[in-house]
A and B are shown apart, each in its own frame.
Chain A
Amino acid sequence: MAVHIQTKDFDAGAEIAALRRGNPKIGAVASFIGVCRDANDGTAVTKMTLEHYPGMTEKALEKIVAEAKARWDVMEVLVVHRVGELKPTDQIVLVVVTGAHRGEAFAACEFIMDYLKTRAPFWKKEETPQGARWVEARGSDDEAAERWNSSKADVA
Chain B
Amino acid sequence: MKVKILYLASLREQLGKAGEDLEISPATSTVAGLRALLMARGGPWQTALAQGRALRVAVNQEMAQPATAVKPGDEIAFFPPVTGG
Contacts and interface: CB of A to CB of B under 8 A. Distances in A.
Interface residues of A, number: 27
Nearest to A81: B84
B79 A121 contact: yes
Contacts, number: 74
Nearest to B9: A123
Contacts of B81: 118, 136-137
A121 B8 contact: yes
A53 B61 contact: yes
Interface in B37-85: 54, 58, 61-63, 77, 79-85
A52 interface: yes
A123 B58 contact: no
A21 B43 CA distance: 57
B15 to A, nearest CB: 14
B10 A93 contact: no
A59 B82 contact: no
Contact of A51 (B8, B61, B85): B8
B82 A120 contact: yes
Interface size class of B (residues with CB under 8 A): 10 to 19
Given A56-B61, A119-B63, A123-B10, A113 B54 contact: no
B6 interface: yes
Contact of A123 (B6, B8, B54, B61): B8
A55 interface: yes
A53 B77 contact: yes
A122 B61 contact: no
Contact of B80 (A92, A118, A123): A123
A51 B63 CA distance: 18
Contacts of B6: 53
Given A51-B9, A119-B63, A123-B8, A56 B77 contact: yes
B7 to A, nearest CB: 11
Given A53-B8, A56-B77, A134-B9, A123 B84 contact: yes
A69 B80 CA distance: 28
